[in-house]
Amino acid sequence: MVKLGFSVDNHFDVNHIASPAAVTRIAAYLVAHHYQVYVNAGDSFNDFALTQHFYQALQQAVGDAVVIRYLAGNHDLVKNVSYQTAQSAGSPLYLHEKTYPVPHTNTVIIGNNGWYDYSLAPAALRAQGADFAQWKRAYWIDAAIDQPVADEARMQRVLASSRRALAEAAGKRVIYVTHFVPTARLMVYSPAHPRWQMATALMGSRHLGALLERAEVADVVFGHLHRRDPALQVGATTYHHQPMGYGLRRLNEWRSDDWFAEWAATLVTLEA
């Protein structure tokens, strides 16, 4: 049995958590609790370089005891990274468009940052031809992300690379890890809040979930919504959505005032 840990939406910088302290505490926990693989599904920092440095430091801290991998969420992509770099192999710890075969098991972990194609927006807004791209440029943090292609094209790359990875993993138990939302079943809509209704278009893609369910992927780990949900099983596929989120005075999504308690409480544990 191999113990696997997954975390998402830690937002260390926004939450004013010092990186050295976070590395030390997380490393000690992973080793003490016998995790052998740890994957972060994005939104660690508002800076790709800081995210990369953090997980390199975490890998160094745990040594050979734990394999560390990470993805980039939209926040990680707003600074110090080009579109080309975000899509490249980069650090060996960077799991985007890569597959990690868990040693001595029949399990593989497929990683993909993910993206969105507006398909999670309310049907009424899509039918009205709402200009989600313009709204994004005016109001959303993602406007700062380097992107030479349209959102729909970027999501098509996610779907194409995921299809290839799933085909290569045929016969294996697959754990798929991404940042963005892959299913409408866990979305929340609020017609009384037009700004949020527009933002739902930028949450992810229902087409990804359909692909993963058809492939009978065992587990899907994701974040981005900042709302914690019980595990949801759809056919052979179980969705895990346990973001750590913000612990701020103006926006408190935590259940305690201790970031480490929140990190541990939202750590998704699976076995291979």
Residue showing tokens 């800081």: 50
pTM: 0.97
Sheet holding 173-178, edge to edge: 98-101, 107-112, 173-178, 219-222, 237-241, 229-234
The pLDDT of residue 262: 98
List the chain residues with pLDDT less than 50.
none
Task: Give the structural domain span for 206.
Answer: 3-271
The pLDDT of residue 226: 95
The pLDDT of residue 67: 98
Q: How many CA atoms within 13 Å lie on the side-chain side of 211? A: 19
Count of structural domains, the chain: 1
The pLDDT of residue 133: 96
What CATH number is associated with residue 184? 3.60.21.10
Q: Which two tokens stand for residue 209?
A: 């979930």
User: Distance from CA of residue 169 to its chain's centroid?
Assistant: 20
The pLDDT of residue 89: 81
The pLDDT of residue 90: 82
Per-residue pLDDT tens for 98-114? 999 999 999 999 999 99
The pLDDT of residue 72: 98
